[in-house]
Every structure is written in C-alpha cells, then in structure tokens.
Amino acid sequence: MNRTRAQLADGREIFFYDDEPRTRQVSDQREIARQPGDTQLRFDPLLREWVAVASGRQQRTHLPSADKCPLCPSSDGRATEIPQPDYDVVVFENRFPSFSGGGGLPEPAEDIVQLTSAEPGGMGGVRREGAGRCEVVCFAADHVSSLAQQTPRRMRTVIDAWADRTEALMASGDVDQVYCFENRGEEIGVTLHHPHGQIYGYPFVTPRTSRMLSSSAAYRSRQGADLFEDILEAERAAQERIVASTEHWTAFVPEWARWPVEICVYPHRGVRVLPELTDAERGDFAALYLELLGKGDRVFAMNLPYISGWQQAPASAEGTDFRLHLQLFSIRRAENKLKYLAGSESGMGVFINDIPPEQMAQRLREA
C-alpha cells in the first residue's frame, strides 16, 4: 500500500493512496478554520435508536460548478480540499461531518432504561456528546469520471483505502462500526458530482446491523447454523437470482429485494470486515465490482443512480455470526421512472417492489 498522511490547514487529516509508489510533499496554504457546529446524539426511546444532530451540515457545499469543485486537485490560483496538483485516491476528514467528536462510545441502546436526562437542557430526553468520524473518499482526480470507469488497478487501490481506514477507525476508541459507501447521481441526493464516496465511523451499532445480528443469533439458536452462509448457499443453489460470480465472490439479487435494482455481493469465505480480505479476494472483487457497475449503467441504458456500501461487523459484535457483504441499490425502475418512497415505505417501513427480483437478475445478467 502506497500511503501518505498529511494535515489540512484546519488540522483535519488527509491520506493519499497511490496506485504506484510515490513521494508526496503536502502543504495546505489556505487560511481556513474548523467549521462551527458540534454533533450530538439523541436517543429515540420508541425505536431504541440513536439519532445524530449535526447543525454544521446546513453549510455544506451544494452542487458547485465544475470550476469550483472542492474535490478536484488544487491548481495555480485555486486551492481545494486536496492540496496536490494530481492524485489517485485520497481520503480526508469531512469538513461538514454527520458524526464527529471524541466523546467516546455511548452505552448500547439495549442498556438505556431512563427516559429523562440529568443534563442541562436535556428536555426530558437522553443525549450524549457527539462521537465518531466522517471521511470523504475521492476515487479519481478527473471531475467528469466515475468509479465504473476506473481500471481494476485503481479499484484495488480504493479497496485498500477502504480497508486501511476501517482498521484505523475501529482502533480509535470513538467508532464501533464502519460504513464505506458511495452515493451516485443527483436523483439519490448527491451534492458533489466529482467521483467520490464516504466513510462513516459510527459510535454505535446501526439499526440495520442490529436487526441482522438479532436475526442471525435467533437463526443460530434454532438451526445451529450461520444465517449468512445459508443465504449464500441457497442463492448459489437456486441460480436464478445470481448476477455474476467469481472464485471468491457471488453477486445476487436477494429474493426479498426492496429496491428495483438491488445487488448483494457476498464473499465465499466467512470474513467479517474489510481488513480481513486477502490479496486474492481484493483483486477478485475489484474486477467483479467494475463488471457490476457496468451492468448497472447498461440495464436502463443510462447512468444508474445508486447507493453502494459495505456492511461490516461492529467491534462490539465479536463472537457473533456476521459476514462482510456489499449492498448496491437504486431508485431507478425504468428509463423514465424513479421509485419514490410512498406512505407505507416512509411511514411504516414496509417496502413494495415493482420489479420481481428474478426478472431484475436476468436483466442484469444480460446487460
């Protein structure tokens, strides 16, 4: 791994990951300060979930023109968030984070029993200092490129960066779970067009992961088996929802897919977090993932808006059944139609999928 660590002018960390060995001298000469607006955690006693309040994000950059993009390399006369004339992959602390602070991990949701807070201004609720960390990952210096257009070598550098930052964040003491993800397309809500993703270091176990851990524990208790392993084996046996497979990975549309386009990518080995992947598994995934992104762009003959992210085991879930996997989904349901969450989905969490998963799997295979 070819990594260079430096600091931005306001003290935030930045990491350069190069495809090939390279010596970088990094100096950010901007006169900037940390953005005001601390983050805070508030507990929802009905759903037993933490909610983050991050007022500073109201000031974040929104759909700038290409000549004002903060993720492009710096050039003569214009300094950006990346103080270099060129780069391969770069990761830096988000200037407008959803999670930040060194407050340490809050108590697990299941341990909270009181409804009122003793803290001044608590307004009767349970609140904690902000914790966690948010980072931005730029996949290429080219503003009009995309992750799907990168080479397998560049994709491998991205994977190594994801794994490296996962390991560092989980060792920080302020992060329990790491989510490496990409939002692509204005339809999804992207506010910067430059090819990039994000890394969230949550100070708690996320609701989705908590549900998966509960389900897998119940399955282990009843069946004496690993739920993730059995899901993978069932899909490989059925074949009808598999999109692509390699020596180390299988990509499939889950039978219960909520979204018009939804793909899960499972490793064949029981890996829990990205740093545990071998060189062979990382290289194999790089080629497979680029193939899947290309299929996504061809299925509707246009760039697919999507959210794609790694589901990783929390540090606090040691000893439980959990398998690292990637989930990619899109709100695109036709060339001229998007899926907007309706009342049942937004209000009650009950999804209705317009496209049978078997049909979408076939369309993706043929794309």
CB of 99 closer than 8 Å to CB of 203: yes
Rounded Cα gap, residues 29 and 74, in angstroms: 11
> Quick check: helix, strand or coil at residue 149?
helix
Global pTM value: 0.95
Q: Domain-by-domain residue ranges, the chain?
A: 2-205, 208-366
φ, ψ of residue 81 to 5 degrees: the values are -70, -15
| Percentage, residues of the chain above pLDDT 90 | 85
305-354 pLDDT per residue, tens: 999 999 999 999 999 999 999 999 999 999 999 999 999 999 999 999 99
Beta strands per DSSP E along the chain: 2-7, 13-18, 39-44, 49-54, 89-93, 127-129, 133-138, 177-184, 196-202, 242-245, 249-252, 261-267, 306-311, 325-330, 332-334, 337-338
The pLDDT of 38-67, averaged and rounded, is 88
* 205 beta partners: none
Task: Return the pLDDT at 104.
Answer: 82
Rounded Cα gap, residues 275 and 162, in angstroms: 8
How would you class 249 by CB atoms within 10 Å of its CB: exposed for 0-12, middle for 13-18, buried for 19 or more?
A: buried
Fold agreement between 2-205 and 208-366: yes
The pLDDT of 143-159, averaged and rounded, is 97
Is a pLDDT exceeding 70 seen at residue 289? yes
Read off the tokens for 77.
Answer: 């006369």
pLDDT confidence tier of residue 110, bands split at 50, 70 and 90: confident
Q: What is the mean pLDDT of the chain?
A: 94
Is a pLDDT exceeding 90 seen at residue 115? no
Task: Return the pLDDT at 355.
Answer: 97
- The domain defined by 2-205 carries CATH number 3.40.50.720: no
Task: Return the pLDDT at 46.
Answer: 92
Task: Return the pLDDT at 123.
Answer: 54
CATH superfamily name and code, 208-366: HIT-like (3.30.428.10)
Is a pLDDT exceeding 90 seen at residue 183? yes
54-107 pLDDT per residue, tens: 988 887 888 889 999 999 999 988 999 999 999 999 999 999 999 998 778 888
Read off the tokens for 264.
Answer: 């899960």
Residues annotated as catalytic are 196
Is a pLDDT exceeding 60 seen at residue 237? yes
pLDDT confidence tier of residue 155, bands split at 50, 70 and 90: very high
Task: Return the pLDDT at 112.
Answer: 86
Task: Return the pLDDT at 118.
Answer: 55
Task: Return the pLDDT at 34.
Answer: 83
Read off the tokens for 51.
Answer: 């909610």
DSSP single-letter state for residue 35: P
Task: Return the pLDDT at 35.
Answer: 76
Is a pLDDT exceeding 70 seen at residue 277? yes
The pLDDT of 198-223, averaged and rounded, is 97
10-30 pLDDT per residue, tens: 999 999 999 999 999 999 999
Task: Return the pLDDT at 239.
Answer: 98
Torsion of Cα atoms, 67 then 72 then 76 then 82, to 10°? 140
